[in-house]
Amino acid sequence: MVAGNWKMNTTVLEGIALARAVSELCTPGMVVEVAVFPPFPHLWPVRGALGVGPVLLGAQDVFWEDSGAYTGEVSASMLAGWCDLVLVGHSERRHLLGETDAETGRKFAAGLRHGLGVIVAVGETGDERDAGSTFTVIDRQLDAALSAVDEPPPTGAWLVAYEPVWAIGTGRTASPEQADEVCAHIRDHVAERTAADAPRVLYGGSVSADNAAELFSRASIDGGLIGGASLRPDQFARIVAAAANAAR
Ligand code: PGA
């Protein structure tokens, strides 16, 4: 899967144009799943722009309750039935907005409860990596998500995105070896904890048209969560092509 996280970028009209450009890259039955994550106000018009094509539509966040007095929040029940995916635990939510592991877990559970495919983002900060605690941090974040659900979700119902915080938006990508090592660890940890096959594991953090092929060639990396480069259709097209090559 190649997923474009637009973050807080684009006007609605720019978002529609970008969604059309992404749609044009994709044909039904292609080997790579392609998804876009526009800002909330764009979701409905982008749904229209994507039409019945194969591009999946996802929300960048979701709230854990279904309805009620939660000013500014959007629930999974509001997205269910017409959005395909939801992203939870993105590092910007965890680190800029103070979201806790437990809150991410509740969002994970809410998305699954409403039949949305959930991408759980995990990742260590630079200091945590330097202190040798990368795996401890990743395990804690994964365990918090999995503890929020009664049963381990079916393999196809969710994905993990490994996004080292120090690599997001910095132009400093994890090396393919570093990324592959952590993605392999995630796979093993989830399989051990759930006694089920691990879901797909994506890498995110300064993925570009120039480094995508090498990252995607690694055995434990099943695709990418793309920030900055997903706003540029030419770059995004090359990243999708790299994933298609790796999948063949
Ligand atoms: P980036 O963002 O590709 O701009 O580093 C990735 C992400 O935050 O998902």
Token digits of residue 39? 């800002």
The pLDDT of residue 113 is 98
Q: Judge if the beta carbon of residue 230 lies within 6 A of ligand 1.
A: no
For the chain, the domains span 1-58, 61-200+214-224
Distances (CA, A) of 161 to 138, 152, 233: 11, 17, 22
Q: Which of 11, 182, 7 is nearest to 97 (CA)?
A: 7
User: Which parts of the chain register pLDDT below 70?
Assistant: none
Distances (CA, A) of 213 to 36, 238, 242: 20, 9, 5
Report whether 37 contacts 59 (CB < 8 A). yes
The answer to whether 117 is annotated as binding is no
In words, the CATH class of domain 61-200+214-224 is alpha beta
The pLDDT of residue 63 is 98
The pLDDT of residue 195 is 87
Q: Compute, in angstroms, the gap from residue 195 CA to the centroid of ligand 1.
A: 31
Grouping H, G, I as helix, E, B as strand and the rest as coil, residue 160 is: strand
The pLDDT of residue 179 is 98
Q: Judge if the beta carbon of residue 225 lies within 6 A of ligand 1.
A: yes
Question: Which residue's C-alpha comes closest to atom 1 of ligand 1?
Answer: 227
Residues with a catalytic annotation lie at 90, 163
